[in-house]
Amino acid sequence: MDTRRIILFVIFSFSVLFLWQAWQQEHMPPPVAQTAAPAVPGAAPAPAKDVPAPTVATTPPSPPPAAGVPASSGVPAPSGAPVAAGGQTVTIKTDLYTAHVDTAGGVLTLVTLDRHRDATDASKPYAALQRSAERTFVAQAGLIGEGLPNHRTQFEALPGPRELVAGSDRVELRLKATTATGDPVVKVLTFHRGSYLIDVAFDITNKGTAPLAPYAYFQLTRDTRQAVVQSSMAPAAYVGPVVYNDKDNFKKVEFGEIDKLAADPNRKSPFQKTADNGWVGMIEHYFVAAWLPSDERKTPREFFVRKLDNGLYAAGVIVPVGTIAPGATGEIRVPLYVGPQDQDVLAKTAKGLDLVVDYGIFTVLAAPLFWLLKWLHGLLGNWGWAIVVMTIMIKAVFYPLNAAAARSMGKMKIIAPKMKALQEQYANDKQQLQIKMMEMYKTEKINPLGGCLPILVQIPVFIALYWVLLSAVELRQAPWILWIHDLSAPDPYFVLPVIYAITAYLQVKLSPTPITDPVQAKVMQIMPIAFSVLFIFFPAGLVLYWLVNNILQIGQQWQVNKMLEKEAAAKAATRR
């Protein structure tokens, strides 16, 4: 198999993969909203403002058994728990985002990130959390115990600042509720300057005569819709729950797997449910929301995922508050991260949180490539030029291999007339033609497979770089020059794909191969155009990489061809 056939095979394989994924996305029916279950005592009605509330779990997680970590199977709502009527929306403004908190349950219903714009309307900030008619993705928290408030309880917003002012590094929202036995519970949400972390805490005062041992649950509830539009022709980024702990490491729990768990309660869980470390989150392209219990005290915790009504899914964690003596106050605090998948920030925020930026099996290559790209951006101040320079650097690393391949291709061009003569002479005897061609390769000292090794070695690098350009939030809506305003989106005017098609065609012309089959020859001529059509749907940053790579390859092949022509002319002169 010669080099061009390998290229053809690789391109065809990628094309089939992308087209299959595109077909699945186009033809797979969207999740159908299930009919809501009959109302149960304690269920919350929809909040005001004409915004339909998501149908959340009809019950919070179950109370714990006598020992160990709590079980998360559903149980009836705690008797006496106050029921939320129509809640009020409290707006909190920080230097990085705006958050809405519904006093009905103290639910975070909206978080808009000021430094990241909406995928379809750049005049609007990106909504990392949102509850609307179009999309549901909210953060909920509550307590498990007799009469304790949960995410369906009506809270009272206590007076206090609602905006982060100059000179202050935090702003707190305090929500108060009273248990059925008269114990006050204050839910405190703390928003920090320069951080996407929101501390969510419960202060529980025990005014009774018996000790309390409540548990708290923290969950994210969402549908399967994505706020970030992805090309239907390119592999889609993962969207759904993730669980991290030391035993499982990083586990994705797809919505389809949750459906199977709901249909078969005895089905083996795909993740470790109980641990003394770890966190749980929901990720989508470029962004993540995650509950991050502290690992310092090795507090036991239980992770859970659930299928809810109306096409919603929940993922969360249950942690013990600890025993609260009569007359004492207990506290449980769990941070919530809602923001971009900035790897440096995530790595500092919690162990393993940076793994949400998933490069798959090529992480060992993708991670250093991203480090290099980010370093170049620090020098150049532009992600587009960083891609260009990085491509040149990668090309330089592979120069010896590429030079060998180019030399092999150049020699093929020199013997092209002899090859054509053989093809005409043995047009009706394919077997004899192959024998004569191999004899010619041996005489001319040409390795027909000489161009294979560089391609095979570079394929993993290309794939790893693809996932870097697809996954890095730093490149989202990052401009390059002129018409390229977003390197993570397709070229709006198809300029880069068209230029790529031209360079790919020139590359084929500069590198002839001994293809005797006219059908294969035609395919090789058409393939650059076909591949450029596929590139129409790819991120501009990836097309830019391939384009620069092609231009450098053409230059190298042209230089090698000229050098070989001079060598051939010198040999001919010597013979004379």
Predicted confidence (pLDDT) per residue in 376-410, tens digit: 999 999 999 999 999 899 888 877 776 666 666 66
Q: What would the two tokens of residue 406 be? A: 């180019």
**242 with 381, same domain?**
no
Best-predicted range by mean pLDDT among 33-37, 147-151, 357-361?
Answer: 147-151
Nearest to 273 by CA among 56, 71, 65: 71
Per-residue pLDDT for 11 more than 90? no
With respect to residue 114, please indicate whether it lies within any of the assigned structural domains.
Answer: yes
- At 202, the amino acid letter reads F
The pLDDT assigned to 430 comes to 75
Contacts of 557 (CB under 8 A, 6+ apart): 406, 409, 410, 507, 510, 511
CA atoms within 13 A on the CB side of 170: 11
Contacts of 554 (CB under 8 A, 6+ apart): 503, 506, 507, 510
The pLDDT assigned to 217 comes to 95
Contacts of 157 (CB under 8 A, 6+ apart): 88, 90, 103, 173, 174, 175
Share of the chain above pLDDT 70, in %: 73
Per-residue pLDDT for 83 more than 50? no
Q: What CATH code is carried by the domain that includes residue 109?
A: 2.70.98.90
**179 with 87, same domain?**
yes
Q: Can you tell me the distance from the alpha carbon of 465 to that of 458, in angstroms, rounded to the nearest whole number?
A: 11
* Confidence tier at 234 by pLDDT (50, 70, 90): low
**300 with 429, same domain?**
no
What does the mean pLDDT of the chain come to? 78
When pLDDT is averaged across residues 3-22 and rounded to a whole number, the result is 45
The pLDDT assigned to 506 comes to 80
With respect to residue 44, please indicate whether it lies within any of the assigned structural domains.
Answer: no
Q: What is the DSSP letter of 154?
A: B
Nearest to 469 by CA among 461, 510, 7, 232: 461
Residue 134 CA, distance from chain mean position? 21
Per-residue pLDDT for 71 more than 60? no
The pLDDT assigned to 517 comes to 55
The pLDDT assigned to 46 comes to 34
User: For residue range 403-421, what is the model confidence (pLDDT) as tens digits?
Assistant: 666 666 666 666 667 777 7
On whether the CB atoms of residues 143 and 204 are closer than 8 A, the answer is yes
* Confidence tier at 67 by pLDDT (50, 70, 90): very low
Q: Can you tell me the distance from the alpha carbon of 417 to that of 415, in angstroms, rounded to the nearest whole number?
A: 6
The pLDDT assigned to 559 comes to 73
* Confidence tier at 19 by pLDDT (50, 70, 90): very low
The pLDDT assigned to 70 comes to 46
- Cα 504 to Cα 20, 198, 398, 458: the distances in Å are 24, 50, 19, 17
Q: Give the torsion sign (CA, 412, 418, 420, 422).
A: negative
When pLDDT is averaged across residues 482-488 and rounded to a whole number, the result is 87
The pLDDT assigned to 487 comes to 86
SS (H, E, C) 502-549: HHHHHHHHHCCCCCCCHHHHHHHHHHHHHHHHHHCCCCHHHHHHHHHH
Per-residue pLDDT for 79 more than 70? no
With respect to residue 204, please indicate whether it lies within any of the assigned structural domains.
Answer: yes
Q: Can you tell me the distance from the alpha carbon of 350 to that of 114, in angstroms, rounded to the nearest whole number?
A: 23
CB atoms under 10 Å from CB of 61, counted, come to 26
SS (H, E, C) 196-253: CEEEEEEEEECCCCCCECCEEEEEEEECCCCCCCCCCCCCCCCCEEEEEECCCEEEEC
**141 with 270, same domain?**
yes
- At 353, the amino acid letter reads L
Last residue of a domain, one of 325, 356, 387: 356
The pLDDT assigned to 240 comes to 92
User: For residue range 163-184, what is the model confidence (pLDDT) as tens digits?
Assistant: 998 889 999 999 999 888 788 9
Per-residue pLDDT for 91 more than 80? yes
Q: What is the DSSP letter of 18?
A: H
Helices (H) and strands (E) in the chain, counts: 12, 18
**221 with 108, same domain?**
yes
**442 with 407, same domain?**
yes
Per-residue pLDDT for 100 more than 80? yes
Nearest to 7 by CA among 507, 562, 545: 507
When pLDDT is averaged across residues 545-563 and rounded to a whole number, the result is 79
Angle at 562 between CA 557 and CA 565, to 5 degrees: 125
With respect to residue 23, please indicate whether it lies within any of the assigned structural domains.
Answer: no
**334 with 286, same domain?**
yes
**Residue given tokens 């305003």 in the structure block:** 485
With respect to residue 394, please indicate whether it lies within any of the assigned structural domains.
Answer: yes
* β-sheet bridge partners, residue 288: 283, 339
With respect to residue 78, please indicate whether it lies within any of the assigned structural domains.
Answer: no
| 3-state SS class at 290 | strand
Q: What's the number of domains the chain is made of?
A: 2
**396 with 544, same domain?**
yes
Per-residue pLDDT for 314 more than 50? yes
* Confidence tier at 500 by pLDDT (50, 70, 90): confident
Per-residue pLDDT for 38 more than 50? no
**269 with 382, same domain?**
no
Per-residue pLDDT for 119 more than 90? no
**8 with 137, same domain?**
no
* Confidence tier at 151 by pLDDT (50, 70, 90): very high
With respect to residue 378, please indicate whether it lies within any of the assigned structural domains.
Answer: yes
* β-sheet bridge partners, residue 348: none
Q: Can you tell me the distance from the alpha carbon of 222 to that of 240, in angstroms, rounded to the nearest whole number?
A: 9
Which residues form the domain of 305? Answer: 51-61+83-225+238-356
Last residue of a domain, one of 356, 382, 406: 356
**322 with 376, same domain?**
no
5: left (phi over 0), alpha (psi -120 to 50) or beta: alpha
Kindly report whether the global pTM for this prediction surpasses the value 0.95: no
249: left (phi over 0), alpha (psi -120 to 50) or beta: left
The pLDDT assigned to 491 comes to 84
**116 with 251, same domain?**
yes
Last residue of a domain, one of 338, 356, 374: 356
The pLDDT assigned to 122 comes to 79
On whether the CB atoms of residues 479 and 485 are closer than 8 A, the answer is yes
* Confidence tier at 518 by pLDDT (50, 70, 90): low
When pLDDT is averaged across residues 251-280 and rounded to a whole number, the result is 91
User: Exposure of 205 by Cβ count < 10 A (0-12 exposed, 13-18 middle, 19+ buried)?
Assistant: middle
Q: What would the two tokens of residue 473 be? A: 């939030």
* Confidence tier at 474 by pLDDT (50, 70, 90): confident
Q: What are the CB-based long-range contacts (under 8 Å, 24+) for 35-38?
A: 35/309, 36/309, 36/310, 37/309
Angle at 54 between CA 70 and CA 56, to 5 degrees: 20
Q: What are the CB-based long-range contacts (under 8 Å, 24+) for 541-544?
A: 541/383, 541/384, 541/387, 541/469, 541/475, 541/478, 541/480, 541/487, 541/488, 542/465, 542/466, 542/469, 542/470, 543/491, 543/496, 543/497, 543/500, 544/384, 544/387, 544/388, 544/480, 544/484, 544/487, 544/496
Work out the end-to-end distance of the chain between its first and last CA atoms, rounded to an integer number of angstroms: 37
With respect to residue 40, please indicate whether it lies within any of the assigned structural domains.
Answer: no
